[in-house]
Structure 1
Amino acid sequence: MTRSPATPLPPPKARRRLRETAALTQTQLADRVGVTPATVRAWESGRTTPRGRKREAYAKLLKTLAEEETVRAPEPEPEPQTEAKLEPEAKPQLQPEPEAKPQPQPEPQHQSQPQPVAAPEPVALTPAQAFDALYAFSAPALVRQTFLLTGRREQARESVERAFQAAWEHWPEVARDRDPVGWVRATAYEYALSPWQRLRPRHRHPEPPPADPGDRTLLNTLLRLPPRHRRTLVLYDGVGLDLPETAAETEASTPATANRLLRAREAVAGRLPALADPQVLHRRLAELASNERLRAAEPPTVRRGGERRARLRTRAAIAFTVALIGTTALTVRTAPTHYEPPVSPGQAVRGVPQRVAPGALSDEELELRQKLRDQVQDGPERLSPRLE
């Protein structure tokens, strides 16, 4: 039996743009599709993909919004001043640049008859090879970016490894994603900024600060920012994402993301006036991340670690299920089948005369008994009136 192809969907950015153009909130769109607002945020950020009937309903609604947008055909509005202010002219990237592909050299052609050049066949990679390639390409940059969020080297490395382990567990979904690096980055950032990280014993021991005084001051300034503002600043001025992409990854609206970015820049410029220029701030963030010696584990080690953790979770779930079944069976076996009222403890009663055994009757008792026997049992005689 062949499976029918899934209904095509526009990219996550286009989904968000269509909803905002139609002046719909995520809650309103979720009510029309029949899902929760959190699910809509995950669809628009590209972290998850709808399936089944939800996918068909979502695709149909997006198609209707696109048709309505085409009918309205609004004139292009001038770019808002806030976004124009936030968008720098050129942004260097903290992410690694892909290696330049060698240009194919033209083959010499025969003078009399040209020979067609056969196109090279694409090499199919196994899931493990594709995962290793993605890890080798993006893991070092992600560790440096996560260090800017946490200020801890070991925590940054562990967050990226956990994110890639989660990606390996959901590899079919991640491999089909339009931005696999963004999927892993969002997972690593959420793990690194989780509040329960403060409860770990390792968090109580501070790590050595950067050697350079300027880097140390910049890192302390970043760590004083609220987590949401810090994440927005790193994504926009550090990684180089644009404003809609930053808003989608942080699961916030575009105006809210712009407000967070402005506040974060104001806080950094308040302590370090030399970093008021976004270009200078981006360069300093790249220098701060590059000056630290941050290393990532090898891809096979990360994959084996993820598989080992998955096996441990599976075994723990099986053990818990077996223990629950055993406890239930024991309870059913030993439970009473009927109600037995409890027996109250004995209590002494005082003031009651003791029982006396019957003995011989006295003369008076014998005379009284005989008198009762001799009397007529029909009752007393009736009195009749007489004349005097």
Structure 2
Amino acid sequence: MTQSPAAPLPPPTERRRLREAASLTRAQLASRVGVTSEKVRRWETGRATPRGRKAAKYARLLNSLGRGRELTSPHAPHVTAPEPDEPARRSAVAVRPGRSRGRGWVRARTVGPRRYGDAADALTPDQAFDALYSFCAPALVRQTYLLTGRRELARESVERAFHIAWQQWPEVACDRDPAGWVRAVAYDCALSPWHRFRLRHRHPEPPPPDAFDRALLDTLLKLPPSYRRTLLLYDGVGLGLPETAAETEASTRAAANRLVHAREAVAERLPELADPEVLHWRLVELASIERLRAAKPLVVRRSGERRARLWTRAAIAFTVALIGTTVLTVRTAPARYEPPVPAGETVQGVPPRVAPGPLSEKEQKLRKKLRKEQQRGPDRLLPQPR
């Protein structure tokens, strides 16, 4: 008996589009497949790949949604994307003519199996990781600088993202867009709210020397983090609106609204950047002026391994300490319950006890008097017969 081949899975962005076109939530689709909504979110963002029976069931469901979408008339609400003919459309490396320092703004979507996947079988994991890092890290450092306005934090966020990628390298290596996977993690690390509690991040870093660059960076940092991230992905990196919405974990309509509001806020303060193409090149220049450099791939990979070993040893030490404490408690704990003995308390208002002793002269006189009165008292009345 032959088994029919499983339907191929569409790209992550197409999975999300099909679900939204069918007006299904992640929870509804997850209940049909038999998984959690969090797993569906990871499938749609490309951070995880379905496998086994769930993958076949998921592929059949998406295929049925696609056929139903083709057979029905397109009456679903349409989100107007800002100017579809602008930067997507941009090359892998955007370089402003006349400036050699504009190099390094990479559209990371081009990194993946199409770039070095043909020779992935001939590369070791170390070589594949180093190739991905060398291609993506310089651009990611510049992008995260625009998100945070801090040079050191940008480097730390990118290195942390690649540390996580190296720890989960089998999953990242099989991903359709490994650069997008790392970029999403780097952005999350850069925009983490816990950085505000770090002492060295309470003091602002020196701003760019140019006045216009300072105004642009200040405008970006005043935007909400979600608006800033959407603007950077769409007008800076050059992602499409569905890809931007998927990476920011928002609906396509919400991503379009964030992009429109972010552009309006930038144009209100800097009217010369109302044109999206001009805004793109100004972002490229601002990111390239700082001459931010990423560490070497070998250094990042080894530091990630050392950090993983450190956390592993700390977890083992904590587990051993917890087991030891539990065993000591079990050995020293009493076998039966013994009610506690209450502490003594002083009772107020009770007269002190008087020890027996000889009577005083006054008490002796009183005793004699009582005895005489008892003898001299009236006789006892007796009934008289009639």
TM-score between both structures, scaled by the size of structure 2? 0.78
**Match for residue 31 of structure 2?**
31
State the Cα distance separating 1:52 from its structure 2 match. Answer: 4.1
- Which structure 2 residues correspond to residues 1-388 of structure 1 after superposition, within 5 A? 8-70=8-70, 72=71, 74=73, 82-85=80-83, 87-88=85-86, 90-91=89-90, 93=94, 94-95=105-106, 124-344=122-342
State the Cα distance separating 1:38 from its structure 2 match. Answer: 2.9
State the Cα distance separating 1:242 from its structure 2 match. Answer: 0.6
Taking structure 1 as reference, are residues 7 and 298 closer, same or farther at Cα in structure 2, changes over 3 Å only? Answer: farther
Aligned AA (1:207) = E
In 2, the alpha carbon distance for the partners of 1:204 and 1:41 equals 34
Aligned AA (2:32) = R
Corresponding residue SS for 2:14: helix
> Do the aligned residues in 2 keep the contact of 1:91 with 1:279 (CA within 8 Å)?
no
> Do the aligned residues in 2 keep the contact of 1:269 with 1:276 (CA within 8 Å)?
yes
Comparing 37-46 with 307-316, which one deviates more in the overlay?
37-46
Larger radius of gyration: 1
State the Cα distance separating 1:42 from its structure 2 match. Answer: 1.7
In 1, the alpha carbon distance for the partners of 2:151 and 2:48 equals 29
> Do the aligned residues in 1 keep the contact of 2:82 with 2:256 (CA within 8 Å)?
no
Taking structure 1 as reference, are residues 135 and 206 closer, same or farther at Cα in structure 2, changes over 3 Å only? Answer: same
**Match for residue 365 of structure 2?**
none
Aligned AA (1:32) = R
State the Cα distance separating 1:207 from its structure 2 match. Answer: 1.0
Comparing 26-35 with 79-88, which one deviates more in the overlay?
79-88
Taking structure 1 as reference, are residues 339 and 212 closer, same or farther at Cα in structure 2, changes over 3 Å only? Answer: same
**Match for residue 369 of structure 2?**
none
> Do the aligned residues in 2 keep the contact of 1:174 with 1:180 (CA within 8 Å)?
yes
In 2, the alpha carbon distance for the partners of 1:81 and 1:14 equals 16
Aligned AA (2:19) = R
Determine what percentage of the aligned residue pairs are the same residue.
Answer: 66
Runs of 5+ in structure 2 lacking a partner?
95-104, 112-117, 358-386
State the Cα distance separating 1:287 from its structure 2 match. Answer: 0.7
Taking structure 1 as reference, are residues 172 and 342 closer, same or farther at Cα in structure 2, changes over 3 Å only? Answer: closer
> Do the aligned residues in 2 keep the contact of 1:247 with 1:254 (CA within 8 Å)?
yes
Taking structure 1 as reference, are residues 289 and 345 closer, same or farther at Cα in structure 2, changes over 3 Å only? Answer: closer
Taking structure 1 as reference, are residues 43 and 343 closer, same or farther at Cα in structure 2, changes over 3 Å only? Answer: same
State the Cα distance separating 1:343 from its structure 2 match. Answer: 3.5
In 2, the alpha carbon distance for the partners of 1:345 and 1:210 equals 72
> Do the aligned residues in 2 keep the contact of 1:95 with 1:138 (CA within 8 Å)?
yes
RMSD across aligned positions (CA): 2.9
Corresponding residue SS for 2:80: helix
In 1, the alpha carbon distance for the partners of 2:299 and 2:120 equals 28
In 2, the alpha carbon distance for the partners of 1:333 and 1:82 equals 70
Aligned AA (2:106) = Q
Q: Kindly provide the CA deviation profile for residues 226-260 of structure 1, in whole angstroms up to 9, marking residues without a partner as x.
A: 00000000000000001000001001100000000
State the Cα distance separating 1:352 from its structure 2 match. Answer: 7.6
Q: Kindly provide the CA deviation profile for residues 143-198 of structure 1, in whole angstroms up to 9, marking residues without a partner as x.
A: 11111101111110111111011111111111111111100000000000000011
Corresponding residue SS for 1:17: helix
> Do the aligned residues in 1 keep the contact of 2:79 with 2:253 (CA within 8 Å)?
no
In 2, the alpha carbon distance for the partners of 1:96 and 1:61 equals 32
State the Cα distance separating 1:46 from its structure 2 match. Answer: 0.5
State the Cα distance separating 1:79 from its structure 2 match. Answer: 11
> Do the aligned residues in 2 keep the contact of 1:87 with 1:242 (CA within 8 Å)?
no
Q: Kindly provide the CA deviation profile for residues 195-244 of structure 1, in whole angstroms up to 9, marking residues without a partner as x.
A: 00111111112111111111111000100000000000000000000100
